[in-house]
Chain A
Amino acid sequence: MAYPENYRYTKEHEWIDAAGADGTIGITHYAQDSLGDIVFIDLPAVGASIKAGEIFGSVESVKAVSDLYAPVSGTVTAVNETLKDDPEQVNKDAHAAWMLKVKLANPAEVSGLLDAAGYEKYVSEETGS
């Protein structure tokens, strides 16, 4: 699975597509594959604040529940409401099925995240494959 070059990634398997102070956040292909069939995604409301490295929601599959960690700090400007009834979109295409849009408090935080090559290397080390 190719990880988009223009995204940045966390070690907790979230991605952010950032342009200036605008960011779009989701989880990676690796994350959805590890979780399996996703049945429920708990996301903050528009207007909520998120803080880099802290939990902003959770995603539940049949097998497990996993916390979502904010790649950056900022304010939620939009939530992907279609995930409520159709969370399996994330299984089908994790890099397109976004969860939040945010206004970044500090766009410089993005440069501290992994790039696609770095993330791919991190995942391969974690799985030992």
Chain B
Amino acid sequence: MSTPTTELRKTPLNGVHRALKAKMVDFGGWDMPVEYSGLIAEHMAVRTGVGLFDVSHMGDIQLRGPGALAGVQQLCMNDASKLAVGQAQYSAMLYPDGSFVDDVVVHKFSENDYLLVINAGTREKDVQWVRSQAAQMHSCHVSDYSDYYTQLAIQGPRAAETLAKLTNVDLSAIKNYWFKWGTVCGLPNTLIARTGYTGEDGFEIYVPSDVATSERVWNEVLEAGKEFGILPCGLGARNTLRLESAMALYGHEISETINVLEAGLGRYAKMDKGDFIGRDALAAVEAAGGAKRKLVGLEMVERGIGRDGYAVTTLEGAPLGSITSGSPAPFLKKNIALAYVPAEYAAVGTEVAVEVRGQRVKAVVVPTPFYKRSKPGKV
């Protein structure tokens, strides 16, 4: 292993992760836990009980002022005018060519106040992008609050019961992709959002980022979840959980060289809401008959694990594309992958091959998400 040339950034919970003897990795310039007790155990805790993630490396950009909504509408492809106060939506910021600056979750705090939660690896780029675009907007003030929050994700079918012990907020009143403010661990006005990146019911809470508060809340959540078998979970399980749920990861399924329609996220691009950056390019792709390549779910049929970057071919070996994310799926107990292939190979049931370390291994296109939770969570 090489010595990092630049100092890695640390979340306020870095000391906690090290004390728990987590395996740490460089994730987009951040020193983050990849696993604590073991990836499979952590993955299963989230599917069957509850898990706790430190996702403080995620960024937070706030747009405020009378022009905030117009700014969000211009920057993001989903229709933020449809949001009620207290509601969030999955969206993305696009370049003019319809590719991704980043995918984001837009939260409507009030009529003139929106929060965009963004990815860690793209933080500086995103902030710069928003500021450069906002320069052309009226009455829209941009603030980077990324370092103000420790963001914790409490995820799994027992997440609500866990968090309920620590808050006065009626969690059953928060629907999926809605949020409220309330007291959590004695901290008033804490943002509690029913969001996540695991395909499971769960919450993300945003608490002050000082070390003492962050560690206290972390420990109180672990204590509250003890009876449900809560485990601290690292980025390893976060990745396999989101992959089973076929959720995109920046730099893999979405990037500066992939457009929204290729990524299968067209349903979040509201072409009828008015202009937004990237709209014309997407309209042109649609007018030309749609995306030429598509993101598909693959399940390995023969023995072998398709991993990130592996080539996808026809059964005869003609190149088709490549895997963007591939892994054993701990809950499904199958080897799954997301991959880009030409549109004519995207139909469910199509047989393809994956080049696994010099061997052609058969795989089949399957519906996504690979995993869908059976019923919405309830308190």
Q: Are A and B subunits of one complex? A: yes
Tell me whether B269 is interfacial, beta carbon within 8 Å. Answer: no
In the bound complex, do residue A62 and residue B330 qualify as a contact, i.e. CB atoms below 8 Å apart?
yes
- Is B23 an interface position by the 8 A CB rule? yes
Give, as a whole number of angstroms, the nearest-CB distance from B272 to chain A. 42
Inter-subunit contact A62/B1 (CB<8 Å): no
| Interchain CB contact (< 8 A) of B39 among A58, A63, A65, A126 | A63
- Nearest to A60 among chain B residues (CB) is B305
What chain A residues lie within 8 Å of B254 (beta carbons)?
Answer: none
- Which residues of chain B in 285-329 are interfacial with respect to chain A, using CB atoms and an 8 Å cutoff? 303, 305, 307, 327-328
B357 contacts which chain A residues (CB < 8 A)?
A: 58, 65
| Other-chain residue from A37, A40, A58, A126 in contact with B1 (beta carbon distance below 8 A) | A126
Interface: B40 (CB within 8 A): yes
Known: A62-B240, A127-B1. A39 touches B39 (CB 8 A): no
A91 to B39, CA, bound (A): 12
- A126 contacts across to B, CB distance below 8 A: 1
**B3 x A36 contact (CB < 8 A):** no
Whose C-beta in chain A lies nearest to the C-beta of B327? A62
Which residues from chain A contact B103 at a C-beta distance below 8 Å? none
Give the distance in Å from the alpha carbon of A128 to the alpha carbon of B1 in the complex: 8
Docked pose: A8 CA to B214 CA in angstroms? 46
- Name B304's closest neighbour in chain A (CB-CB): A40
- Residue on B nearest A91 in the bound complex, by CB: B38
Contacts A126-B1, A128-B3 known; A36 to B305 CB distance under 8 Å? no
B377 close to chain A: CB less than 8 A:
no
How far apart are the CA atoms of A127 and B236 in the complex, in Å? 20
* Per-position 1/0 for B183-223, Cβ under 8 A of A: 00000000000000000000000000000000000000000
Query: Size of chain B's interface in residues, with CB distance under 8 A?
Result: 17
Q: Which residue of A lies closest to B239 (CB)?
A: A63
Near B by CB (< 8 A), chain A positions 50-100 give 58, 60-65, 91
Q: Take A36-B23, A39-B328 as given contacts and tell me if A62 and B3 are in contact as well, using a CB distance cutoff of 8 Å.
A: no
B34 at the interface (CB under 8 A from A): yes
A61 to B23, CA, bound (A): 15
- Tell me if B126 is interfacial: C-beta within 8 Å of chain A: no
User: Across the two chains, which residue of chain A brings its CB closest to B236?
Assistant: A63
Residue of A nearest to B41 (CB): A37
Q: How far is the CB of A73 from chain B (nearest CB, A)?
A: 22
With both beta carbons as reference points, the residue of chain B lying nearest to A37 in the complex is identified as: B40
* Interface presence of B35 (CB below 8 A): yes
Per a CB cutoff under 8 Å, which of A36, A39, A58, A65 touches B236? A36
Min distance, Cβ A30 to any Cβ of chain B, angstroms: 12
Chain A residues near B328 (CB, 8 Å)? Answer: 39-40, 60, 62
Q: How long is the Cα–Cα vector from A40 to B361 in the complex, in angstroms?
A: 15
The reply to whether A65 and B1 contact each other, CB–CB distance below 8 Å, is: no
Chain A, Cβ-Cβ closest to B25: A63
Mark A19-43 against chain B: 1 for CB-CB distance below 8 A, else 0: 0000000000000000011011000
Contacts of B35 on A, CB cut-off 8 Å?
36
Please determine whether B236 and A62 come into contact, CB atoms closer than 8 angstroms: yes
5 interchain pairs, CB-CB under 8 A: A40-B328, A61-B39, A65-B305, A128-B1, A128-B3
What would 13 more interface pairs be, CB under 8 Å, given A64-B307, A65-B307? A36-B236, A37-B38, A37-B40, A37-B330, A58-B357, A60-B328, A62-B40, A62-B328, A63-B34, A65-B357, A91-B38, A126-B1, A128-B1
- B interface list, Cβ under 8 A from A: 1, 3, 23, 34-35, 38-40, 236, 240, 303, 305, 307, 327-328, 330, 357
What 6 pairs between A and B have smallest CB-CB spacing?
A37-B40, A39-B328, A62-B39, A62-B328, A37-B39, A36-B39
